[in-house]
Structure 1
């Protein structure tokens, strides 16, 4: 089978290559998916670039945790009703050598979810990490009905999902964006107001003004290194900041400011969700997909041989979802 691999960590153009690997067979409790599209996330580029890992965990890695395709083989003890089903999957390369950037991937059946008929494989490859992250951030910490939610990075893949989820849940939704074009994407997703964030004082004033002087009851944050110092100015009394990303490893938190607003900060890594938290997120996403009406960011599709371009697309924070296509030619 064709697969994208890297044998050393480094820049995408230097280390990613398309190679031939043996087609895997599913083990006990596993299913094999004939991959249609492999989703590229920032965590994939950080692992490949050596940002989030100190050393190569395997002699080579097939990257990417998200994707979509059709189950074509069932391992011993796995659910045989999954054979032939269109599916989305997640965490393919989390603590594993072989991710979704290949013609085939074998996965524990718990990581594979059947798709409703009305959800295409293109959109399905963007479900996994972004939508699970957004669902957990919006729903796991507080009830947002009739409250104000601020989504930072509102035009990102997680941000666009979070805006829609919060709007569906009855929140007044605010967002930040770095350009007029990205602000338009956030508004199209359902944000009531979208703000630039280059001037922190202006941002804080606009958030307070848009929330009737209160601030955000929930802040869904993609970059704690930038926004954490502003939490006391952005949060309402008793508000919560939920952090799922940061451009830098260290953040500064204004302790006295947070005490004055009785604010809280929570962090999570979607790859490590388990137990009740994961079950609730999966049920929530499945219910959302079944109900229809949820919109996905436009996809930019690259061939497997263009994996480096897809990684650069993500590293440059360009709007939309980067996917590798592994559909059979012709």
Structure 2
């Protein structure tokens, strides 16, 4: 089978298309024929490493997310069948196997049923963005541990960077759960994408006074902020946050730090929640997967131009270019076509 692999960290040029043997799943595992692989910032950052070009202990296939069809079941697997359409999550975490290959073997729990009404594109776009968004939206003290319709009713959620993949998922999940959703963006094109995703109110932070605009929607403040750039937003976040509110921070540049205004945070009893989907508890991850699955069945998680997340496609042999596009800040979702549906 064809697989994209790298033997040392570094620029995208370390990614090489190779032939490798097809292996069978072991106890509790399934083998999936990958149709679409999704690319996230964490994929190129993991491949790039520290920039020293360190040699890996074993060759690695990149990319955490994907969607495909179960090709073979390992011993002891129940609830799944050969031919099932599935979406995949955290495939490359703690493993040398990612989704940039024609077949991948994963624990059965990491292959989740994809409704017949949803595309492989949608399935490959879930994973990191949707699971991160779910944890960010459920990190509020005394809030729901798992999202469901009405679980965020009468809550106001502010999503910074609503045109990004995590922001897009956060908008859709928060709206599905009944929240009033405000988002900030840097321009009209991104604003339109956020509206298509379902945001009730869109604020251009380059031209509008964000605290004033938010206060018109939420005079007493917002309950939860899902923040893509806390160092730049912290002052505004504290200005618009309700007393006892939560700031969920899920992104940072390597080595980046955050200067927290202590007294202002104390005055509002602010809760800061840092989110990395890979290292949440098993209970939190199970709740996220279950909620995303429910939202998916309800048609609440959609991708594509008409749903606010444009798709750009690459072939498997163009995986390096796909990584470069994400690194360069492409707006939308980068997908890799691995095999025929």
TM-score, scaled to structure 2: 0.89
Kindly indicate whether residue 258 of structure 2 is the aligned counterpart of residue 258 of structure 1. Answer: no
Give 3-state SS (helix, strand or coil) of 1:247's partner.
coil
What root-mean-square deviation, in Å, do the aligned CA atoms of Structure 1 and Structure 2 show?
2.2
- What does 1:242-253 correspond to in 2, within 5 Å? 242-248=248-254, 249-253=256-260
Q: Does structure 1 retain, via aligned residues, the 8 Å contact 2:223–2:245?
A: yes
**1:256–1:324 CA distance, 2 compared to 1 (3 A):** same
Give 2:172's aligned residue: 164
| Alignment match of 1:217 (pick from 220, 223, 230) | 223
Aligned equivalents of 2:224 and 2:247: distance in 1? 6
**Separation in structure 2 between the aligned mates of residue 183 and residue 190 of structure 1, nearest angstrom:** 11
Q: Which residue of 2 aligns with 1:285?
A: 292
Tell me the distance in 2 between the aligned counterparts of 1:152 and 1:57: 36
Which of residues 209, 212, 216 is equivalent to 1:205?
Answer: 212
The aligned residue for residue 6 of structure 1 is 6
Report the CA distance shift for 1:301/1:242 in structure 2 as closer, same or farther (over 3 A).
same
Distance 1:289 1:52, change over 3 A: farther
2:57 maps to which residue?
A: 58
CA distance in structure 2 between the aligned counterparts of 1:54 and 1:253, rounded to whole angstroms: 34
TM-score by length of 1: 0.92
Shift of 1:82: 2.4
Among residues 151, 155, 159, which one is paired with 2:159 in the alignment?
151
Contact 2:10 2:53 in 1 (8 A): no
Compared CA separation, residues 234 and 51, structure 1 to 2 (3 A): farther
Q: 1:8 Cα shift?
A: 2.0
8 Å Cα contact 2:6-2:15 kept in structure 1: yes
**C-alpha distance in structure 1 between counterparts of 2:133 and 2:10, whole Å:** 29
* SS of residue paired to 2:251: coil
Structure 1 outlier segments of 4+, above 6 Å: none
* Corresponding residue for residue 306 of structure 2: none
**Paired position in structure 1 for 2:123:** 124
Distance 1:177 1:153, change over 3 A: same
Contact 1:174-1:194 within 8 A present in 2 as well: yes
- CA offset at residue 178 of structure 1? 1.9
Distance 1:290 1:53 in 2: 44
Query: Out of 300, 306, 313, which is 2:318 matched to?
Result: 306
- Contact 1:154-1:177 within 8 A present in 2 as well: yes
Query: Aligned to 1:173, what secondary structure does the other structure show?
Result: strand
Tell me the alpha carbon deviations over residues 239-280 of structure 1, each in whole angstroms, 9 at most, x when there is no partner.
110111123521111111111122110112111233221121
Is the aligned partner of 1:191 residue 2:226? Answer: no
1:166 Cα deviation after fit: 1.4
| SS of equivalent residue, structure 1 residue 59 | strand
Flag the 1:52–1:118 CA change in 2: closer, same or farther, 3 A. Answer: farther
Residue 52 of structure 1 and its aligned partner are, at CA, apart by 10
Corresponding residue SS for 1:174:
strand
Note closer, same or farther for the CA distance 1:111–1:274 as it changes in structure 2 (3 Å cut): farther
Contact 1:38/1:68, CA 8 A, preserved across alignment: yes
Q: Deviations over 1:124-149 (max 9, x none)?
A: 11111111111222234336321221
Partner of 1:269: 276
* C-alpha distance in structure 2 between counterparts of 1:242 and 1:318, whole Å: 23
Q: How does 1:309-324 map to 2 (within 5 A)?
A: 309-324=321-336
